[in-house]
Structure 1
Amino acid sequence: MQFKDKYIDLNTPRVMGILNVTPDSFSDGGRFLGRENALKQAEAMILEGADFIDVGGESTRPGAEDVSLQQELDRTIPVIEAIATNFDVVISIDTSKPEVMQQAVSAGAGLINDIRALGESGALSAATSSGAAVCLMHMQGQPKTMQAAPQYRDVVKDVYTFLDTKTQQCMQAGIPKSQIIIDPGFGFGKTLPHNYQLLDRLEELNNLGFPMLIGVSRKSMLGHLLNRDVDQRLAGSIAAATIALTKGASILRVHDVKQTADAVKVVSALSAYKD
């Protein structure tokens, strides 16, 4: 798949390292604020095996408050510029704001990762004109209220229908099919049973015909099941990531890059060493 000026073969599963330059993200809020801290963390994740670095300047945890456009730009653009200058890696911008998309791609981002699936006013146009690849995520509701009382007739079918509609809209707008990724949105407007139903039937989304990005790292679907604090969810994260890989995931968006990269190698060996 082409990410602006970089190509990544997604026939081999890849790891995306999470770089939150926010004070309030659920797992690592405040740890990587500022250009130098963020750059060091990006380098560490690349050395551990990350092919993508996902830079986010606004927390999307349940109940998160919105940030202004200028705040998000101030947090993300200098970091993207620094990573693009220093490392040969695909940079992803985690945003729903069209202005941030445009400036991030100009600064060196090759992927727009939008939890609102380009649903904000001007976002689809901005993404199309940028020439970057896009990742479209399913979310029921908005971050502030999405976990209040999510309901589905069939969570997998509903997610499938949503992503089918969104990908068609993107292609009609001029984004090539070869530059579209889908994300079922674990934890975004979904109860514990919804999340595990989705994980169990994840392979059904392969019928859409797009590479699939999966983000389950350290999420509450693991914490609530295992009764573990956020910093004690590594084993659960690797287990869920491994299941996702066996069901067709192409990219794993994670906090723990080294351990996830090991899991990817083990799962990939199943195909490599077939008779």
Structure 2
Amino acid sequence: MNAINRTPNHSSFSMNCRGKLTDLSTPLIMGILNLTPDSFSDGGKFNSEKNALLQVEKMISDGAAIIDIGAQSTRPNAEFLSAESEISRLGSLISKIKKQFPETLISLDTFYAEVVQFGCKEGIDIVNDISGGNFDKKMFETVGKKALPYILMHVNPTYQSMHQKLIDSDIILNLNEYFSEKILELEAFAINDFILDPGFGFGKTVEQQHQLLNEIEFINFGKNPLLIGISRKSFIYKPLGKKPTEIIEETQKLHLKVLEKGAKILRVHDVAETKKTINIFLNR
């Protein structure tokens, strides 16, 4: 790593969401909406349509520009759902959010191409695939045809191995190799609008995740916008002996660090607190 130019890249980016250009020069907040009964920190709270819509309204009011909707938990030992089960759990919520909050972008958290197709009909703006196209070989083709921005996350190759600590080389070099290969695949399917997600909480040691936080400006050398998702992650709360909901202060300090290193989207549970952090960053 010593040969790398360590000057942070604060380039401005944008993404084309259904013909609407979204500017990323000011960092955006992506609010997490889990429709799952078994999510690690808020499972069951928002898996009714009424509660979900109330939570969306609160997150938008608190400063979220994007709502990330997920119907399947990907925590360790979570229940594995089929595409049909995800679609059933999503129901008509996407279209109802779009109708009620037309200016808010909706990201669909899924690794199924079939669920992306359903989401497109309902009005999604972004595809957030934790599998990097690994769990469904039709994903890249589908996203390319739908011409939606794609969030490319770093993860191990299979669903069964996604939480195993398999990386024994330098974490930054490993991620850069992964992203370089995946970006070529994306471009082959005419996907040119993508955001990179280092995959915090997926198959990485505590030490590797802190190295990522310290060196995120070197992920793909700052050539693409970065999404950072560290909200309520165990590498923060477990070493402190705290619960996922008890690390807001520690998380915001880390959010400020990654904003200073060029992060463009923060994927979070605690929107109001993150909005304050972004304001501090912008007013420095």
Task: Calculate the TM-score normalised by the size of structure 2.
Answer: 0.91
One-letter amino acid matched to 2:162: M
CA offsets per residue over residues 112-162 of structure 1, 9 Å max, x none? Answer: 000111222211111111121100000125455433433221111101111
1:159 aligned residue: 175
Tell me the SS of whatever aligns to 1:201.
helix
Moved more, 136-145 or 89-98: 136-145
- Structure 2 gap ranges (5+): 1-14
1:227, 1:144 → 2: CA distance?
A: 27
* Counterparts in 2 of 1:121 and 1:161: CA distance versus 1, 3 Å: same
CA offsets per residue over residues 196-246 of structure 1, 9 Å max, x none? Answer: 111111110151511100000010011122211112111121112111111
Of 166, 174, 178 in structure 1, the residue corresponding to residue 190 of structure 2 is: 174
- Structure 1 gap ranges (5+): 271-275
1:42 aligns with 2:60: no
CA offsets per residue over residues 47-83 of structure 1, 9 Å max, x none? Answer: 0000000000000112222102221001224111111
1:193 aligns with 2:211: no
CA offsets per residue over residues 4-29 of structure 1, 9 Å max, x none? Answer: 14332101101000000011111111
1:256, 1:215 → 2: CA distance?
A: 12
2:240 aligned residue: 226
- By percentage of residues, which structure has more helix? 1
2:280 aligned residue: 266
CA offsets per residue over residues 170-214 of structure 1, 9 Å max, x none? Answer: 1121112xx111100011110111111111111101515111000
1:24 aligned residue: 38
Query: Are the counterparts in 1 of residues 179 and 220 from structure 2 also a CA contact under 8 Å?
Result: no
* Counterparts in 2 of 1:37 and 1:262: CA distance versus 1, 3 Å: same
1:7 aligns with 2:21: yes
1:132 aligns with 2:148: yes
Query: Are the counterparts in 2 of residues 140 and 190 from structure 1 also a CA contact under 8 Å?
Result: no
Task: Calculate the TM-score normalised by the size of structure 1.
Answer: 0.93
2:108 aligned residue: 93
1:113 aligned residue: 128
2:45, 2:247 → 1: CA distance?
A: 18
Identity of aligned residues (%): 37
* Counterparts in 2 of 1:223 and 1:251: CA distance versus 1, 3 Å: same
Query: Are the counterparts in 2 of residues 77 and 104 from structure 1 also a CA contact under 8 Å?
Result: no
2:9 aligned residue: none
1:19, 1:142 → 2: CA distance?
A: 24
Offset of 1:163 from its aligned partner? 1.1
1:153, 1:250 → 2: CA distance?
A: 27
2:144, 2:113 → 1: CA distance?
A: 11
* Counterparts in 2 of 1:77 and 1:250: CA distance versus 1, 3 Å: farther
Tell me the SS of whatever aligns to 2:283.
helix
2:97, 2:147 → 1: CA distance?
A: 19
2:264 aligned residue: 250
One-letter amino acid matched to 1:111: I
* Counterparts in 2 of 1:141 and 1:229: CA distance versus 1, 3 Å: farther
2:73 aligned residue: 59
1:217, 1:267 → 2: CA distance?
A: 18
